Amino acid sequence: MPFVELDDVGREFVDGDRKIAALSNVSLSFERSEFAAIIGPSGAGKSTLLSILGALIHPTTGKVKVDGMELTEMDAESLANFRREYVGFVFQSFNLLPYLTALENVMLPLAIAKGNGVRRKALAEKALESVGMIDKAKRLPGALSAGEQQRVAIARAIVNNPPIVLADEPTGNLDSVNALSVIALLSKLAGDNRLVIIVTHNEQITSLTTRTIALDDGKVTLDHNKLSYLYR
Amino acid sequence: MTINNLVFCNLKRRKGRFIFLALGLSVGIATFTLVITVSRAVGQSLQDMLDRYGPNIIITPKSESYSIAYEGINLSSIAMTHSKLTIGDLEKLKDIKNAKNIAITAPKLVRMVELNGYDTRVVGVDFVKELEMKKWWGPLIEADGGREHQYGKHFRRTDDDSLLISKTEDSAIVGYAVAEKLSLKPETILKVHGKEFTVNTILAPTGTEDDQSVFIPLRQAQKIFGVGEELSLVEVSALCKGCPIEDIVTQINSALPNGRASALMSVVSQRLEFLGKFQKFATGIALVALVIGALLVFITVMGSVTERVREIGILRCIGFKQMQISQIIIKETLTVSIAGGIFGYLVGNLASIIVVPRLIGSADASIQISLATLAISLFVAVLVGVLGAFYPSLRAGRLEPLEALRAI
């Protein structure tokens, strides 16, 4: 059984009297250690697919299974628990809380987890260390460069060791050097037995991922798994 | 990092907004505390004042029956029994359980005599007590050729004036109607049972039977009518607070077997009704202040939630539950409410210390500052905070992550 499985997933949004199909008949499956890029033009449904994978919204049709759990049958509370335990998010605009230090931002997901303060701090420091930001742990986001902020955001995404990391345009606000560094970091996360899926406009990045999924008008137009070619 | 740390960090970050909110709330709580303290102090003062303003209990000899009327009480000119009320009986009132509730006792001897050819009611009174009880008494003032002419001394002006009248054993105070009927003026000599009295003051119309009465010192009245220490009646002004008037009446009746005390219930109920209305008015003002406080919290927290959609979205994405988001908002508001409550309580009490003596006109106004009042103020502040923040916190919790993600 695949780790993540989307079966004939569709999603509609209502805009006044109109219904807009953001996704139609999407069937995909993912395994751990995959590093997948979802590409496509604006409005292709990339972010909608990421939101469904991250349990932020339910699909209108179809089913989503993660680690054997049917997400479409979960209520809001169970979905929140799922997000806390299974998913780490990385955003284009980093979305760090400006009034918390880098360390405190990384500790945020642990604020609602079990465990004492010392352990939480140790975990957050470990995550910051893994992204090379431990020396700037006490800085506020405003005092960090864009690349550094994104590294802190990645540390926050992995601090509670989730099996899935979803990144929405993680390099969108970065220069090419920092972008490359962030992609390398995400690739490393996939190597740690995680499923890492990124949404990007930058087709060059696909050369660094193990799988490329192209979406257009809510439909999958390409699903290219380099590893499967390799295995073949 | 815990939810509490998050609350603290957010309060620190938005301290301007939260200080404004705390100040706004403290105004509401200060108003609440002030109104409650003032209403309590003024209510007490009013009650004391009302209780001293005229009698609310009348004591008459037990089986005596008079045809003479005074203050709505029928008095007979014929003594039917040997049961008598005397000055000495008044001492017994000091021994009743609620003696401290008896503010004034005004003994009277009432007789009908012929003055200048007219049957006139002569009342022997203790002037000091009578003036203390009948605060509405004042000298007749009439326009006289474009000038105001005062008929007699304004004995209410100072305590010394009152004492002056009482010490003058041959003075008389004359009711407005009697003075007109008998053409009496200040300094006129009035002969009662052969004893001469100098008219000290013509009373301004009172609308009561006092207008048809001549008041002379009690001792003189008892002497000229030859009744020893006998009294026709005693008017009592009792403080009702903390003791039902009926209880005082029962205690007086037990203490005076030869007397019959009865409460002027209409007077008592009017006073209680007045006090009740005052308390309701004060409570109304306090409630309005609190509703305004709750609205202020609502608007501020609602604004804060709208401003923090992005932050809420991030928290929801990383697994915060609806309840945990609401909890953050409520905890922030509660912290501010408690701070506002304590500050408001202090300001309210300070304002009370300044306002109450001015309202009551007495420096020794009792203002009770207690932990219980502080607890009530804090409870009210928390209640106002929770009520004001309830809907915004619910709205924040219900914010869908994707909705927030779109705002990002």
Residues of B with CB under 8 A from a CB of A: 1-3, 5-6, 9-10, 12-13, 310-311, 313-322, 324, 400-402, 405, 408
pLDDT in tens, B125-149: 988 888 878 877 878 877 666 666 6
pLDDT in tens, A19-67: 888 899 999 999 988 999 999 988 889 989 999 999 988 999 999 999 9
Q: Of B2, B320, B408, which has the smallest distance from its Cβ to A80's Cβ? A: B320
Output phi, psi for B399, to 5 deg. -60, 125
Verify whether the Cβ–Cβ distance B6 to A84 is below 8 Å.
Answer: no
pLDDT recorded at residue B318: 84
pLDDT at B176 over 60: yes
If phi > 0 it is left, if psi is from -120 to 50 it is alpha, else beta; for residue A187 that is alpha
Beta strands A195-200; A61-66: pairing state? unpaired
Cα–Cα dist A61/B263, whole Å: 83
Residues of B in contact with A76 (CB under 8 A): 321-322
Residues of A in contact with B317 (CB under 8 A): 54, 56, 83, 89
Q: Which tokens go with B293?
A: 């406080």
Q: Note whether B193 and B224 are within 8 A (CB).
A: yes
Residues of A with CB under 8 A from a CB of B: 51, 54, 56-57, 76-77, 80-81, 83-85, 87-89, 91, 93, 95, 97-100, 104, 107-112, 117, 120, 124, 156
Q: Between B3 and B76, where is the model more confident?
A: B3
Q: Name the amino acid, one letter, at A104.
A: E
pLDDT in tens, A215-232: 999 999 999 887 655 544
Tell me the pLDDT of chain B averaged across its residues: 80
pLDDT recorded at residue B128: 82
Whose structure tokens read 């760090």? A96
Tell me the pLDDT of chain A averaged across its residues: 89
Q: Note whether B195 and B220 are within 8 A (CB).
A: yes
Q: Note whether B135 and B156 are within 8 A (CB).
A: yes
Q: Of A57, A109, A117, which has the smallest distance from its Cβ to B318's Cβ? A: A109
Q: Note whether B340 and B27 are within 8 A (CB).
A: no
Q: Output the CA–CA distances (angstroms, integers) from residue A55 to A51, A58, A64, A192, B65, in the order listed.
A: 6, 7, 9, 22, 96
Confidence of residue B280 (pLDDT cuts 50, 70, 90): confident
Whose structure tokens read 């002419």? B149
Q: Note whether B226 and B135 are within 8 A (CB).
A: no
Tell me which chain B residue has its CA closest to the CA of residue A107.
Answer: B1
pLDDT in tens, A175-225: 888 888 889 888 988 888 899 999 988 888 888 899 999 999 999 999 988
pLDDT in tens, B197-239: 988 888 888 888 889 999 999 999 999 999 988 999 998 888 7
Interface test with A, best of B15, B312, B318, B402 (most A CBs within 10 A): B318
Q: Give strand pairing partners of A13.
A: A20
pLDDT at B240 over 70: no
Output phi, psi for B199, to 5 deg. -70, 120
Whole-prediction pTM:
0.65
Output phi, psi for B196, to 5 deg. -90, 135
Q: Which tokens go with B283?
A: 């409570």
